[in-house]
Amino acid sequence: MQIVDVQDKIDHELISHDQIVKRINEVAAQASKDYAGKKPLVICVLKGAIQTLSRFVSALTIPMEMDFMSLSTYGAGTSSSGKITVRADLTTDVKDRDVLIVEDIVDSGFTLNWLVGELKKRGAKSVEIFALLEKPARHTVDVKLKYTGFVIPDEFVVGFGLDFDEEYRNLNSIAVLKPEVYEGEIS
């Protein structure tokens, strides 16, 4: 059997694992201060935010609860459709809760703009966002982030939860794949 290593598909690394962990810990320390005396409901937007959520909550020092929501935007491609579908909903009532959304990346902003509106409609007391990555070059909808991990250039990235066609979520850094992978010449 041929041995395939995901590292072989990487063109270049954008953010190392150590940088990511350090930054998430900084954000968690700040959020622990900002939410002191409260018990936020931390919402993980599946599946991309799973690694960030995990690191983030383990570094929070305040009481909190977590829940998960699965939204679809991209499908298998690399450009946003702007149409949001709920694949799996929360099990928690957000009414009167301080909600902190954890998201992998803000690109056009459509997903988060929709989600913030939806949670407010459901009666959340406050809705804030922590996005690990932000691509400001492509914003078409205005989204206010309370915490940002890293601002990145307009490149399609994978790793630390982010996928290309459902693969590469297990990479422990943020990277750009070789062009042949996106073009479907190798898989």
As annotated, the active-site residues are 107
Measured CA to CA in angstroms, residue 186 lies from 124, 145, 157, 174 at distances of: 45, 36, 17, 20
Query: Does residue 128 belong to the site contacting ligand 5GP (CB under 6 A)?
Result: no
Return the one option of ligand 5GP, Mg ion, none that residue 118 interacts with (CB less than 5 to 8 A, by type). none
104 binds Mg ion (CB under 5 A): yes
> Within a 10 A sphere around the Cβ of 114, how many other Cβ atoms?
18
How is residue 93 written in tokens?
């009532």
Q: Can you read off the two tokens belonging to residue 145?
A: 């982030």
Q: Which of residues 152-181 bind ligand 5GP (CB under 6 A)?
A: 156-158, 162-164
> Which residues 57-86 are close enough to bind ligand 5GP by CB under 6 A?
73-74, 80
Backbone φ/ψ region at 149: left (φ over 0), alpha (ψ -120 to 50), beta: alpha
Interface residues with Mg ion (CB under 5 A) are 45, 48, 74, 104, 163
Interface residues with ligand 5GP (CB under 6 A) are 48, 73-74, 80, 103-111, 156-158, 162-164
